[in-house]
């Protein structure tokens, strides 16, 4: 803040421009990566059986749990610590980085070995499906490669660099997997080769990443002799609560799949995992902004600029919600058409899953990046408390609702527990800093969204809508929603600054969009 207690608009604009600049690249990378990843899932679902797709989804979840454990929360904690100390030109950064990489190398190899030797027990005793055994063993080999890719991305992220995530975490792995998958399908190979293809794609991506790191000079800074026990303890003390957060978030993300596998069958798991990835696409705007948002907010927090953080948070939340809403409305109003188009008519039973999970992720975007903000402020323990509450409720609800309601029960359990955890985070954020997203300028777009949604809903009631008409309805929705934002004067000066920056990045001359928007400010 300035001397008189007001916020520094120059700092706010600079921070927003950094977020927009980095988020744009992350968003493009995530979209392309998600498209490739989504195509991969569609190919597996269409060219193999529902049981095979269920096996892939279930084993993928188990391996993700192992990867999360092996990272020990360092993928976020390391980023925060680098960003926080980088502003102070702290010489400890090299020791922090070297120590973290060596810890992850040991933990990821250990988890890989554990999963290989426990695959028999998991497949037979827990999930009662012997066909899960070999996929787990093959998937396990990818754990060290995957964990190290993520920790290297976290290091670059701490220094404010995002292209490494885009190239190696989002694009390369998915592109290689898709290429290998085409060969598996073209040669009519058995399903197990899908798992080999995935593991090979991760390993090749890791090797290419290592060459990149070597050229950037980062590899020379990671030395065995720089392992520092004291720095390791400090880093783990900060990051282990984040491991709890990630594990508990993983529980909330994947308990539905795991418990469907336990209570039901691989077919049901396959159905659920057709709708679930679709709904999770709605989080792409919040995730892409949050990736660069957190280190920037850490930097502001190290300078005690709470007022500026609050304003940036409110503007970012409004943007995230505004972008997420139109897509969520399509999922909510036309779930059957969406599922049939992407996965085929055999997956229409997953309609309630797509609807409930769409509400879940829309609500998350409505509250904004509260978890990232708390993390930037060093409140990792509070995040773990919120995650514990959500995870315990998630397990209890899944255990209660899945036997009675099947697919819908799993989706409802995830929606309630996930959104409760986000509310707890927001309450904590307000308690520590008085930061919350709800301003008059934010509530105006919400009302505009209600109006636009109501109009589209009435149209669908009067006219039978085919899938080919969905893009037209989407454009109409955007048009009505955009008009509501302009006429209710929901746009602020900081929003225009972001629009100008985006126009400059895209090479748009005369600032056509911003000129229109300025008339309604």
Q: Is the pLDDT confidence value at 199 over 90? A: yes
Reported as a pLDDT band with limits 50, 70 and 90, residue 508 is very low
Tell me what the mean pLDDT of segment 226-232 comes to.
65
Q: What is the pLDDT of residue 144?
A: 93
Reported as a pLDDT band with limits 50, 70 and 90, residue 469 is low
Q: Is the pLDDT confidence value at 388 over 80? A: yes
Sequence ranges of the domains in the chain = 9-438
Residue 344 or 1, more confident: 344
Q: What is the pLDDT of residues 486-501, one digit of tens each?
A: 776 666 666 655 555 5
Tell me what the mean pLDDT of segment 91-114 comes to.
84
Of the ranges 51-55, 72-76, 442-446, 473-477, which one carries the lowest mean pLDDT score?
Answer: 442-446
Local structure of 516: helix, strand or coil: helix
Reported as a pLDDT band with limits 50, 70 and 90, residue 22 is low
Tell me what the mean pLDDT of segment 418-441 comes to.
87
Tell me what the mean pLDDT of segment 283-291 comes to.
76
Tokens representing 372 are: 């990232």
Tell me what the mean pLDDT of segment 113-137 comes to.
83
Q: CA-CA distance, 134 to 193, in Å (whole number)?
A: 11
H helix runs in 142-191, sequence order: 143-158, 163-164, 173-186
Q: Is the pLDDT confidence value at 502 over 60? A: no
Q: What is the pLDDT of residue 517?
A: 47
Reported as a pLDDT band with limits 50, 70 and 90, residue 478 is confident
Q: What is the pLDDT of residue 512?
A: 47
Q: Is the pLDDT confidence value at 204 over 90? A: yes
Mean pLDDT for all residues in the chain = 77
Q: Is the pLDDT confidence value at 210 over 80? A: yes
Tokens representing 366 are: 């409505």
If 0-12 CB within 10 Å is exposed, 13-18 middle and 19+ buried, where does residue 192 land? middle
Tell me what the mean pLDDT of segment 191-213 comes to.
91
Tell me what the mean pLDDT of segment 312-319 comes to.
83
Q: What is the pLDDT of residue 499?
A: 52
Q: Hunting for tokens 């409505």 — which residue is that?
A: 366
Tokens representing 294 are: 């957190």
| CA torsion through residues 422, 423, 429, 432, sign | negative
Q: Is the pLDDT confidence value at 482 over 80? A: no
Q: What is the secondary structure of 6-64 as a DSSP string?
A: ---HHHHHHHHHHHHHHHHHHHHHHHHHHHHHHHHHHHHHHHS-HHHHHHHHHHHHHHH
Q: What is the pLDDT of residue 242?
A: 66
3-state class percentages of the chain: helix first, strand second, coil last, to nearest 5: 85, 0, 15
Q: Is the pLDDT confidence value at 374 over 80? A: yes
Mean pLDDT: which of 189-198, 386-395, 445-454 is highest? Answer: 189-198
């Amino acid at each position: 803040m300035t001397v008189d207690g007001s916020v520094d608009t120059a700092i706010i604009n600079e921070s927003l421009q950094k977020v927009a600049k980095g988020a744009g690249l992350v968003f493009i990378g995530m979209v392309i990566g998600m498209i490739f990843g989504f195509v991969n899932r569609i190919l597996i679902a269409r060219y193999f059986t529902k049981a095979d797709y269920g096996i892939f989804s279930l084993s993928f979840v188990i391996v993700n749990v192992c990867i999360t454990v092996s990272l020990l929360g360092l993928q976020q904690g390391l980023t925060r610590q680098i960003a926080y100390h980088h502003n102070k030109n702290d010489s400890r950064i090299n020791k922090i980085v070297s120590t973290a990489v060596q810890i992850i190398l040991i933990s990821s190899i250990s988890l890989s070995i554990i999963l290989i030797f426990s695959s028999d027990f998991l497949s037979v005793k827990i999930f009662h499906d012997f066909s899960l055994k070999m996929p787990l063993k093959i998937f396990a080999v990818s754990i060290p490669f995957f964990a190290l890719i993520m920790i290297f991305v976290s290091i670059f992220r701490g220094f404010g660099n995002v292209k490494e995530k885009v190239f190696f975490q989002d694009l390369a792995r998915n592109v290689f997997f898709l290429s290998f998958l085409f060969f598996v399908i073209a040669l009519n190979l058995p399903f197990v080769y899908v798992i080999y293809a995935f593991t090979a794609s991760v390993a090749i991506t890791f090797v290419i990443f290592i060459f990149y790191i070597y050229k950037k000079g980062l590899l020379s800074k990671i030395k065995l002799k720089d392992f520092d026990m004291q720095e390791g303890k400090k880093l783990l003390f900060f990051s282990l609560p984040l491991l709890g957060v990630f594990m508990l978030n993983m529980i909330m993300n994947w308990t539905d799949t795991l418990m469907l596998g336990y209570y039901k069958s691989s077919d049901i798991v396959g159905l659920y995992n057709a709708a679930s990835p679709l709904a999770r696409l709605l989080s792409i705007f919040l995730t892409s902004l949050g990736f660069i948002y957190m280190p920037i907010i850490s930097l502001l927090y190290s300078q005690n600029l709470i007022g500026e953080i609050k304003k940036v948070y409110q503007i970012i939340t409004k943007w995230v919600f505004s972008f997420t809403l139109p897509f969520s409305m399509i999922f909510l109003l036309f779930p059957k058409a969406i599922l049939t188009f992407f996965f085929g008519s055999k997956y229409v039973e997953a309609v309630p899953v797509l609807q409930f999970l769409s509400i879940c992720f829309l609500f998350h975007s409505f509250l904004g990046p509260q978890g990232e903000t708390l993390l930037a402020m060093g409140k990792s323990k509070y995040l773990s408390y919120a995650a514990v509450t959500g995870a315990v409720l998630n397990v209890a609800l899944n255990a209660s609702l899945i036997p009675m309601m099947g697919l819908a029960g799993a989706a409802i359990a995830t929606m309630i527990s996930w959104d409760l955890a986000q509310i707890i985070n927001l309450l904590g954020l307000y308690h520590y800093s008085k930061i919350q997203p709800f301003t008059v300028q934010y509530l105006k777009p919400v009302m505009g969204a209600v109006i636009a949604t109501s109009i589209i809903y009435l149209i669908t009631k009067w006219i039978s809508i085919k899938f080919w008409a969905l893009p037209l309805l989407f454009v109409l929705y955007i048009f009505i929603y955009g008009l509501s934002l302009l006429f209710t004067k929901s746009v602020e000066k900081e929003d225009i600054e972001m629009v100008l920056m985006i126009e400059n990045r895209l090479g748009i001359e005369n600032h056509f969009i911003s000129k229109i928007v300025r008339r309604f400010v």
